[in-house]
Amino acid sequence: MKSQIIKLLQQNARISNTELGEMLGISADEAAAKIKELEDDGIIRGYSVILDDDKIDEPTVYATIELKVTPQRDRGFNDIAKTIMMYDEVESVSLMSSGAYDLAVEVKGMDLKEVAFFVSERLATIDGILSTSTHFILKKYKEKGIFIDSEERDERGLY
Amino acid sequence: MIDYDKVLSNKIKNVKPSGIRKFFDIAGTMEGVISLGVGEPDFSTPWVIRKAAIQVLERKHIIYGPNKGLLPLRQAITNRIEKKHGVKYDPDKEVIVTVGGSEAIDLVVRGLLDPGDEVLVVEPCFVCYAPLVELMGGVPVSVPTRIENNFKLTVDDLRDKVTERTKILILPFPNNPTGAIMTREDLEPIAEFLRDTNIIVLTDEIYSELTYGREHFSIIELEGMRERTVYVNGFSKAYAMTGWRLGYLAAPAPIVSQISKIHQYGIMCSPFISQNAAVVALDSCDDEVAKMVGEYNVRRRFLVSEFNRLGLTCFNPEGAFYVFPCIKSTGLSSEEFCERLLYENKVAAVPGSAFGESGEGYIRISYAYSLKHLMEAMERIKQFLAKLEEEKK
């Protein structure tokens, strides 16, 4: 039941408790209680919105930064990751297994200059960071399972 | 000038076009319409099946196959039926792989009917049965089912429709459009009634894999029924393979040996690529099917409770991927309801009357659509119903 709730909320977190209950064959109250449980257990960490940034007036650019890092004794990469994630500009921080680099950081900024500045002044200067490699994102087609670029066309029933 | 009216046969001219098509055609000319009309899955064919087809294209000559279908596929089919229903068929003499379940239905009707023979058509039902019967000069006799019986067929519905000319009973369960199913208990009295007759059952079980809460039961499992039944199934609905055009029938050898001639001369053989891929479907896609059934079930529960909440009584369907809410409370005919819903709130549904007179007062809603799509459609239907309510005042 929990995994079904998670799946449905991942598709649409704004679904009402009544609708969720209908879909799963439980009452709205039961659905609400299950969600509360998932939140209290720290499984659901939050709810967000997926945007088409091209349609917003504020200019936005995203970049993925690959960081090579010196791990610290006993603490590995955790301390440095925690330092990085405190910045508002940072959207996500992930530890990678590639070997080519260690941390993947997604950074959001107003323009290229702002992001480049953030990387060189803030990230690159943190103790333990050996190198940075910045990749600007030109276009997002799909995020968290949602199509951003276009609607899927349904050709059924046309013939 | 050639007079086409004289060229065409009276039989074909008298066949009515499908009532499902009509609404699609209108919807196709409008902007921003949300359709709830289609009768095919929104899922893609499972990847392993597609991969098998790609491998055939890469490695094999795409040739004709044996008339009755590739032997490995016929074997996979008989194994499947035996596993599901405990009934054995001879893959060599008792199976034909057809171009969709529709061709299988056509073969049976053509192979069994002489002009004037009667066919019992359990309604509401899919639109193809009566026209195919009429094309053979046969007489379709509708056997309406009723909401009071959960749209199941009862012996009482059947009894006074049977005459000396009755050749076939078409049994379409799980049912399109109602979603009704027949359990062992429902089928036993029907079988009991048929055992003393020469009537052949054409059981169209194309939705057999799509049931919710209980396993599908087939009439072939009942004593004495295998010998008087043609079992029809296919790949379209269960495996999301509509465009692959592949179905099959299983029947006693004396029937298959005769009707396979129609297939042999008219079709030759079913698509070679699809047949190869279908073996994989039967052998290794049970998990994929279960996943799709799980998704359909979520949508089914959502729609049934939403319609009931909106005051359109909705029977709880246990199979297929349709709900069949009753719209009699609105005072509109099902055709009027669908027309206004389409023009005014841009939702395309199919009037129940397209599936036989007994479908009047209902509409067919397909849930072969994403939840997002269904939720948007329900919002529009809610607004439409509110408007109808306003008008009444």
Burial class (CB in 10 A: 0-12, 13-18, 19+), B207: buried
Residues A110-119 have pLDDT tens digits of: 999 999 999 9
Distance CA B174, CA A75 (A): 60
In a domain, A158, yes or no: no
A68 and A18 within one domain: no
CA distance B393 to chain A (A): 29
Taking the Cβ of residue A10 and every Cβ of chain B, the question of whether any pair is shorter than 8 Å is answered with: no
Distance CA A150, CA B3 (A): 49
A85 and A16 within one domain: no
Closest chain A residue to B366, measured at CA: A157
Interface residues of chain B, partner chain A, Cβ below 8 Å:
24, 27-28, 35, 37-38, 40, 42, 298-299, 301-302, 305-306, 368, 371-372, 375
A124 and A100 within one domain: yes
What mean pLDDT, rounded, does chain B reach?
A: 96
Preferred mutation among B298, B318, B367, B372 to probe A, highest tally of A CBs within 10 A: B298
pLDDT bin (cut points 50, 70, 90) of residue B28 is: confident
Q: Indicate the pTM of the whole model.
A: 0.91
Closest chain A residue to B40, measured at CA: A156
For A11, the closest of B302, B368, B371 (CB atoms) is B371
Closest chain B residue to A12, measured at CA: B372
What percent of chain A clears pLDDT 70, i.e. is strictly above it? 97
For B302, the closest of A4, A11, A23 (CB atoms) is A23
In a domain, A134, yes or no: yes
For A157, the closest of B37, B299, B302 (CB atoms) is B37
Residues B138-164 have pLDDT tens digits of: 999 999 999 999 999 999 999 999 999
A59 and A137 within one domain: yes
Q: Is the model's pLDDT at B25 over the cut of 90? A: no
A92 and A17 within one domain: no
Total number of domains constituting chain A: 2
B92 to B78, B176, B258, B262: CA distances (angstroms): 10, 31, 14, 17
Residues of A in contact with B302 (CB under 8 A): 19, 22-23
pLDDT bin (cut points 50, 70, 90) of residue A145 is: confident
A85 and A132 within one domain: yes
A133 and A105 within one domain: yes
A131 and A61 within one domain: yes
A135 and A60 within one domain: yes
For A22, the closest of B38, B301, B372 (CB atoms) is B301
| Residue B109 CB neighbours (<10 A) | 27
8 Å CB contact of B298 and A23: yes
Residues of A in contact with B371 (CB under 8 A): 8, 11-12, 23
pLDDT bin (cut points 50, 70, 90) of residue B26 is: confident
A87 and A63 within one domain: yes
A102 and A34 within one domain: no
Q: Is the model's pLDDT at B298 over the cut of 70? A: yes
What ipTM was assigned to the predicted interfaces of this complex? 0.80
8 Å CB contact of B299 and A154: no
Q: Which domain holds residue A70?
A: 53-142
Average pLDDT over residues B49-67: 96
pLDDT bin (cut points 50, 70, 90) of residue B191 is: very high
In a domain, A45, yes or no: no
- CATH of residue A79's domain is 3.30.70.920
Residues of B in contact with A158 (CB under 8 A): 24, 28
| Residue B327 CB neighbours (<10 A) | 25
- Cβ–Cβ under 8 Å, residues A24 and A5: yes
Residues of A in contact with B299 (CB under 8 A): 23
A60 and A6 within one domain: no
Burial class (CB in 10 A: 0-12, 13-18, 19+), A88: exposed
For B200, the enclosing helix (H) or strand (E) is strand B200-204
Preferred mutation among A156, A158, A159 to probe B, highest tally of B CBs within 10 A: A156
In a domain, A149, yes or no: no
pLDDT bin (cut points 50, 70, 90) of residue A158 is: low
B310 to A57, A156, B180, B382: CA distances (angstroms): 40, 28, 22, 7
CA trace torsion B29, A156, B341, B292 (10° rounding): -170
Average pLDDT over residues A78-99: 92
In a domain, A46, yes or no: no
